[in-house]
A = this chain, B = another copy of it.
Amino acid sequence: MEFIKVVIWGFGAMGQGMADMLISKKGVNIVGVCDINKNIVNKKLSTVMHTKLENDVLISSDIDEILKSSKPDVVLLCTDSFVKGAFPKIKKIVEQNINVITTAEEMTFPFESHPELSKDMDDLAKKHKVTILGSGINPGFVMDLLVLQLTGAMKDVSHIDVKRVNSLSPFGPAVMEEQGVGDTLDQYHERIKNNNLAGHVGFNQSVHMIFKGLGLKATKFEQQMEPIISNVDRKSKYASAKKGTLAGINMTAQGYLGKDLFLNMDHPQQIEPQLEGVHTGDYIDILGCPDIHMAITPEIDGGIGTIAICVNMIPHVINARAGLKTMIDLPIPRAILGDMRDMIDIDE
């Protein structure tokens, strides 16, 4: 079987991480990289990655040319967080009869937030006989898929608490800015007023993926954002937060069944949490028959995790039936330590 061919669209932290991971995998080649960053356009991938490559490519800003000439099996789309920005790109890829895996958080479960665009994408994918998937660590895995997987061992579920406590310290200037690290409380309130503080994107997706996965319909979905004010001076590689300023943001969300709070989500993100005795981890507590209490400590690394999941889903997306899919429609992701082609179903 020919090598699996992958194009990466968007060569930021996620795209570069996926390139690095793909280079180390057997049975798969990067056949194109698209980005608008003038510093890397027309440079060789080997040069930008500082590595030898058997099958080198020239980074280009012309996605149409890349797709037509390289005819990949899948595009890893790492450009956007929101459906609004991702949709036209997804449309362009699918219309070339190519599968898409995207890191766009809203694409992990877009059916509630974007019902019409979701229907359009599903119809388009089926018409072109390809698969679209949004994935990542969160949303896409730890606060939703893993929760659902644990309920698989349960006869009944009455309440779910999910908490992801992580450190923002590994992340770069863009994330520090987006999460308000180092802002004063006044600056924080100003940004909230101007709708200029991203916080975590994905609670709508996680909550609705869980409800849908369980066969339920949420009567109400709510989410909140609170500043995490540091009581000590904190400093990470790319930011600092003096005592009294924001170390990060605590995002919370709830999904209701009737009047009952069925699903509770907590996601405090900050630099250097250990300086105030906060231990990072992913915690899932499900009440029902039987109860299940799970902890992953420390938390699953968000950056590496997202890169890994998207690459690890490549064979499942290639094998999948056509349409707009989510992580609950496909087999589990798992690390690919052999030849990726061995995972392709030949007789389907």
Contacts and interface: CB of A to CB of B under 8 A. Distances in A.
Contact of A328 (B153, B294, B331, B348): B331
Contacts of A290: 300-301, 304-305
Nearest to A296: B294
Interface residues of A, number: 58
A207 to B, nearest CB: 15
A246 to B, nearest CB: 26
A188 interface: no
B292 A296 contact: yes
A155 B304 contact: yes
Given A153-B300, A155-B21, A155-B304, A334 B137 contact: no
Nearest to A215: B338
Interface string A284-298: 000011101111111
Nearest to A304: B290
B155 A337 contact: no
A233 interface: no
Contact of A155 (B288, B307, B328): B307
Contacts of A311: 155
A307 B152 CA distance: 10
Contacts of A58: none
A312 B214 CA distance: 10
Given A214-B338, A294-B294, 4 more contacts: A153-B301, A155-B311, A295-B295, A328-B334
Interface in A207-266: 213-216
Interface in A144-161: 145-146, 148-157
